[in-house]
Amino acid sequence: MSNQSTTTDVQAFFEDLYGGAFMEKVGMALSMVSAGVVEHGRKGKVSITFDIARIADSQQVHISHTVAMLAPTLRGEKSEKDTTQTPMHVNRGGRLSLFPENQGQLFGKDGSTNTTHKEA
């Protein structure tokens, strides 16, 4: 039995979303909203939303990730919403990762493809 956790590594998860660009989007939204809050003295908001849908009949899901921001301005507020999508593998215990944790034996000793692939 493995000592590996079955929970998702959140730091790796965020780094993998949209090839790493998701974290940059969150950072930009936080900076823009914070600057508006300080400059105009009113509250702002940054929201992150995840929608998860299964990909066909597989052990994969599409993670639709949205960064929404509401930044105060001189005469009101400005908002922006950005949604992108990343496919992820669902491993043992629901652990999400960009690549499967166990790909099984893909080739036989003689180099032929293994058609009796089994998931661990």
Kindly report, residue by residue over 44-95, the tens digit of the pLDDT. Answer: 999 999 999 999 999 999 999 999 999 999 999 999 999 999 999 999 999 9
Between 51 and 114, residue with greater pLDDT = 51
Residues with Cβ within 8 Å of 116's Cβ and at least 6 positions away in sequence, in order, are: none
Question: What mean pLDDT comes out for the span 103-118?
Answer: 67
The CA distance from 30 to 24, in Å, is 10
Instruction: Determine the average pLDDT of the residues in 33-45.
Output: 97
DSSP at 27 = H
Give phi and psi for 100, each to the nearest 5. Answer: -65, 145
